[in-house]
């Protein structure tokens, strides 16, 4: 049990970089997005259709289009994270503007003498944002422990001739800056005592976007079929700066340290999605869609650095020379799990609609592997075993509704619950991701405007280093708010 907990060290960022089970999870979790209409209904409008973004869940939803359509959606993101570090409260905010959706769909009516039951077909191209990584976090507080104790535990028993080779991103840096020193038995220690004042700042940027080519068809206004070929893009950037000031500076040689790291992940993946929607009556719509696994080719670049501030009268600042700072780069393959999507829609007297969507995903289906015939083959056996140990199949649920006040004004709302992916044996302390959404639309026939506000909330434990050591843990509460506005044209 302890092995499982230690193996994941952190839910978001680690003191060292590598391709692991957390990367697999990060890129396996995607959320509803795209147009303001889709967002305002929490992505639960799949069976109702009539919106390009619904095709990300079930491509058959595009069959509801009778006219060609163009849409564009910018999004304003606001993020706030509140932290608790052994009773010390802190927090930070961030804001940014992103493109949430653009799409073009051409609808074709099929002449009756050629239809053989087919009423129409649709072809489209589009983009939508399916995950955002933007988030700034910080915590601070005084504790009777230091990250240096983690470096000491790691380095003990390792000779100085090997410490750079074995631990270049961690205790090797601590040794190089004189934060730790060995004795003749290669037992490491440090010249600090008393409490440490921790200050850690984490900055995340980037997101995931999906580019899609879609085709769909309407058979006898009863059965709708569709499929998409998708190219997913990942851009993830994260860096941390960990500072510690030692309270009893008058009695010790080491006064403070600053330890930092950065990681950038970029790459593309491909998948296909197929779906169907059946109307047993004019009021009821039932949909089913299957998403293939997504195969990504990713590139990681990363590096760490450290500086120590001492009482050395000649060279008080100990730093790593630029040419000796550890950096790395690695290309690899990630396959994320398949998904199954079941949706239900109900129309109420042509005045309102309710959508329910259930998504099944088995997070144990993620798999890391090296590039065939690449320069640095690696088995990923331990990491893939951890994926199976830590994660479990989960069901995500979305509920949304729309009410037509008059022919021009529509009111919308929704709720989504994305289950925490961890098994109970992992002992990972995190809540589900929960979304509350709302918005309205203005329909002027040939053109329309939609507006949406969505909030997401999740709370989890963060570990800066070994969870067994005091001072590594903080409690994070992430709150994300985004405001989106869509403009669309029918022709």
Please check whether residues 210 and 77 belong to one and the same domain: yes
pLDDT of residue 108 exceeding 90, the answer is yes
CATH of the domain at 417: 2.40.160.60
Q: With cut-offs at 50, 70 and 90, classify the pLDDT of residue 12.
A: very low
Please check whether residues 164 and 264 belong to one and the same domain: no
pLDDT of residue 5 exceeding 50, the answer is no
Alpha-carbon distance of 402 to 410, in angstroms, equals 7
Please check whether residues 132 and 48 belong to one and the same domain: yes
Which residues does 362 contact at the CB level (< 8 Å), separation at least 6?
Answer: 337, 338, 392, 393, 394
pLDDT of residue 11 exceeding 60, the answer is no
Contact criterion met (CB below 8 Å) for 37 and 71? no
Please check whether residues 159 and 247 belong to one and the same domain: no
Please check whether residues 292 and 213 belong to one and the same domain: yes
DSSP letters for 117-140: TEEEEEEEEEEEEEEE--EEEEEE
Contact criterion met (CB below 8 Å) for 46 and 54? yes
Please check whether residues 179 and 261 belong to one and the same domain: no
Query: Tens digit of pLDDT for each residue in 287-329?
Result: 999 999 999 999 999 999 999 999 888 899 999 999 999 999 9
pLDDT given for residue 460 in this prediction: 95
Domain that holds residue 154: 147-186
If phi > 0 it is left, if psi is from -120 to 50 it is alpha, else beta; for residue 50 that is left
Please check whether residues 301 and 158 belong to one and the same domain: no
Please check whether residues 304 and 221 belong to one and the same domain: yes
Residue 237 burial class via C-beta count within 10 angstroms: exposed 0-12, middle 13-18, buried 19 and up: middle
Contact criterion met (CB below 8 Å) for 320 and 335? no
β-pairing, 294-310 vs 284-291, is unpaired
Alpha-carbon distance of 400 to 228, in angstroms, equals 24
CB atoms near residue 19 (< 10 Å): 21
Which among 491, 390, 344 has a CA at the least distance from the CA of 28? Answer: 390
SS3 label, residue 52: helix
Q: With cut-offs at 50, 70 and 90, classify the pLDDT of residue 115.
A: confident
Q: Which residue has the tokens 């500076």?
A: 249
Please check whether residues 158 and 256 belong to one and the same domain: no
Please check whether residues 158 and 196 belong to one and the same domain: no
- The mean per-residue pLDDT over the stretch 27-44 comes to 95
Contact criterion met (CB below 8 Å) for 48 and 355? yes
Q: With cut-offs at 50, 70 and 90, classify the pLDDT of residue 374.
A: confident
Which residues does 187 contact at the CB level (< 8 Å), separation at least 6?
Answer: 156, 157
Query: Tens digit of pLDDT for each residue in 458-474?
Result: 999 999 999 889 999 99
Q: Tell me how far apart the 2 most distant CA atoms of the chain are, in Å.
A: 94
Please check whether residues 220 and 182 belong to one and the same domain: no
Comparing 5 with 447, the larger pLDDT belongs to 447
Rg of the chain on CA atoms, in Å? 26
Helix (H) or strand (E) holding 345: strand 339-348
Please check whether residues 99 and 181 belong to one and the same domain: no
How many domains, in total, are found in the chain? Answer: 2
Query: Residue 217 is encoded by which pair of tokens?
Result: 């068809």
Which percentage of the chain shows pLDDT scores above 90?
84
Q: With cut-offs at 50, 70 and 90, classify the pLDDT of residue 13.
A: very low
Query: Tens digit of pLDDT for each residue in 424-482?
Result: 888 788 999 999 999 999 999 999 999 999 999 999 999 999 988 999 999 999 999 99
Which among 184, 195, 97 has a CA at the least distance from the CA of 140? Answer: 195
DSSP 8-state code for residue 259: E
Q: Which of 159, 186, 213 is the last residue of a domain?
A: 186
DSSP 8-state code for residue 193: -
Alpha-carbon distance of 32 to 484, in angstroms, equals 13
């Amino acid at each position: 049990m302890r092995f499982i907990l230690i193996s994941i060290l952190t839910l978001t960022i680690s003191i060292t970089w590598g391709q692991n089970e957390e990367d697999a999870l990060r890129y396996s979790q995607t959320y509803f997005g795209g147009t303001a209409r889709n967002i305002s209904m929490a992505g639960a409008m799949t069976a109702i259709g009539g919106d390009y973004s619904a095709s990300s869940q079930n491509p058959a939803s595009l069959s509801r289009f009778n006219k060609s359509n163009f849409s564009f959606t910018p999004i304003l993101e606001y993020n706030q994270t509140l932290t608790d570090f052994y009773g010390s409260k802190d927090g930070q905010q961030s804001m940014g503007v992103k493109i949430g959706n653009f799409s073009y769909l051409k609808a074709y009516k099929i002449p009756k003498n050629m239809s053989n039951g087919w009423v129409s077909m649709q072809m489209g191209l589009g983009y939508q944002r399916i995950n955002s990584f933007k988030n700034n976090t910080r915590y601070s507080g005084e504790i009777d422990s230091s990250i240096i104790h983690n470096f000491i535990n790691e380095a003990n028993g390792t000779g100085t001739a090997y410490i750079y080779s074995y631990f270049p991103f961690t205790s090797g840096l601590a040794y190089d800056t004189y934060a730790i020193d060995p004795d003749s038995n290669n037992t490491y220690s440090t010249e600090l005592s008393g409490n440490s004042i921790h200050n850690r700042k984490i900055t995340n940027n980037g997101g995931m976007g999906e580019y899609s080519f879609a085709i769909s068809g309407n058979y006898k206004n009863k059965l709708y079929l569709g499929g998409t070929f998708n190219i997913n893009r990942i851009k993830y950037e994260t860096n941390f700066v960990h500072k510690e000031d030692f309270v009893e500076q008058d009695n010790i040689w080491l006064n403070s340290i600053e330890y930092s790291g950065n990681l950038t992940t970029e790459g593309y993946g491909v998948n296909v999605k197929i779906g169907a929607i059946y109307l047993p009556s004019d009021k009821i719509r039932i949909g089913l869609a299957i998403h293939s696994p997504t195969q990504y080719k990713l590139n990681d670049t990363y590096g760490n650095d450290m500086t120590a501030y001492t009482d050395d009268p000649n060279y008080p600042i100990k730093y790593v020379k630029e040419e000796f700072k550890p950096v790395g780069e690695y290309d690899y393959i990630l396959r994320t799990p398949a998904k199954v999507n079941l949706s239900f829609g109900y129309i109420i007297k042509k005045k309102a609609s309710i959508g329910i969507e259930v998504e099944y995903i088995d997070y144990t289906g993620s798999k890391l592997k090296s590039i065939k015939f690449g320069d640095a083959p690696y088995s990923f056996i331990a990491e893939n075993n951890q994926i199976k140990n830590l994660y479990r199949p989960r069901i995500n649920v979305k509920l949304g509704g729309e009410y037509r006040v008059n022919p021009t004004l529509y009111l919308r709302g929704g709720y989504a619950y994305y289950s925490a992916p961890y098994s109970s044996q992992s002992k990972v302390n995190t809540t589900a991701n929960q979304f509350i959404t709302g918005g309205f639309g203005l329909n002027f026939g040939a053109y329309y405007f939609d507006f949406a506000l969505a909030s997401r909330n999740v709370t989890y434990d963060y570990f800066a280093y070994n969870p067994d050591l005091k001072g590594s843990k903080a409690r994070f509460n992430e709150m994300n708010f985004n405001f989106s506005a869509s403009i669309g044209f029918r022709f």
